[in-house]
Amino acid sequence: MATKIVVDAGHGGSNPGAVYQGRRESDDALRLATAVGKILEANGYDVTYTRTSDVTQSVGQKAAIANEEGADLFVSIHRNAGEYPGQYSGVQTLIYDDSGIKKQMAENIDANLAELGFRNAGVSIRPNLVVLNSTQMPALLVEAGFIDSDTDNRLFDSRFQAMAQAIADGIMETLEGAQVASSNISEEEPQEEERHRPPMDRPPHRPPMRPPIPPMPPTRPMPPEEPEEELYRVQAGAFRERQNADNLLQLLENDGFPAFIVYQDGLYKVQVGAFSRLSNAIAMEREVREKGYNTYITT
């Protein structure tokens, strides 16, 4: 049976992820995730996409799709952002821990991308990300360059197809390498670390699945930048430090809210949805507030 890979385009819909000069992480992620998936499909892999259009999805929903699919591998495509524009550049792949096949795959992906001219920021262990700790299969999150770096955006636009190939190659060469390795040692004593489980298995100390994500309010939030009309936004915090905004974003995402960060007037504003109707913003604000967040509605 073909190896089943779930390819996730990060963010989406009312959660654009990082935004820089009107460029949205969710759009770049969707384009690149689709291109990576197409290459994997063409090479005989069984690919499922978490989204193929600009829809809102919580990170819990993304992980649930991979779990329901019974996928062998989950790869989430994102773009990074620094504390202020132009601060950082480079590619980086995030994993839950360094067990199994994940670390080698992350290193291969980063190395392939670095060959295209990206700075290699290296593999990073991130146990707190929902798509990494709630997925029941090896999971990777690829930060395909910084969206607030002009250098990285130039590379992203000029070497787009090569980037997709670099990521797909990193995945495929690692999977094929693991297959060769396991067939080579099948007659022998298993390697020390892998004695109790095959390389694709999940680590035994992986935390249990999170409880179901609370339902979204009845109406879908509007995409944040609708130019022609004023939008009501539910804001949960505004910070000078990117890290503080990221922390709040993670909490909101863990609670199933489609949160995103907007950089405005020197502040990282953490918002949940953008609504054309005030009543929808109020309904969302009530839900967020009930979860214990300090919120207010802004335009």
Q: Determine if 102 is a binding residue for Zn ion (CB under 5 A).
A: no
* Cβ nearer to Zn ion, comparing 79 with 103: 79
Alpha-carbon distance of 122 to 91, in angstroms, equals 7
Q: Determine if 119 is a binding residue for Zn ion (CB under 5 A).
A: no
Q: Determine if 145 is a binding residue for Zn ion (CB under 5 A).
A: no
Q: Determine if 13 is a binding residue for Zn ion (CB under 5 A).
A: no
The piece of 44-52, 77-85, 111-119, 160-168 that touches Zn ion (CB under 5 A) is: 77-85
Compute CA distances 77 → 156, 176, 229, 239, 292, whole Å: 13, 21, 31, 26, 30
Write the CB contacts of 161 (distance below 8 Å, at least 6 apart in sequence): 35
Please give the residue whose beta carbon sits closest to Zn ion in the complex: 78
Compute CA distances 39 → 7, 65, 164, whole Å: 11, 21, 8
Interface pick for Zn ion out of 13, 17, 199, 237 (rule CB under 5 A): 17
Name the nearest CA neighbour of 236 among 250, 223, 218: 250
Q: Determine if 10 is a binding residue for Zn ion (CB under 5 A).
A: yes
Instruction: Give the length of the chain.
Output: 299
Asked if residues 91 and 120 have their Cβ atoms less than 8 Å apart, the reply is yes
Q: Determine if 78 is a binding residue for Zn ion (CB under 5 A).
A: yes
Q: Which two tokens stand for residue 158?
A: 């000029």
* Cβ nearer to Zn ion, comparing 3 with 76: 76
The piece of 65-73, 74-82, 214-222, 274-282 that touches Zn ion (CB under 5 A) is: 74-82
Q: Determine if 90 is a binding residue for Zn ion (CB under 5 A).
A: no
Q: Which residues contact Zn ion (rule: CB under 5 A)? A: 10, 17, 78
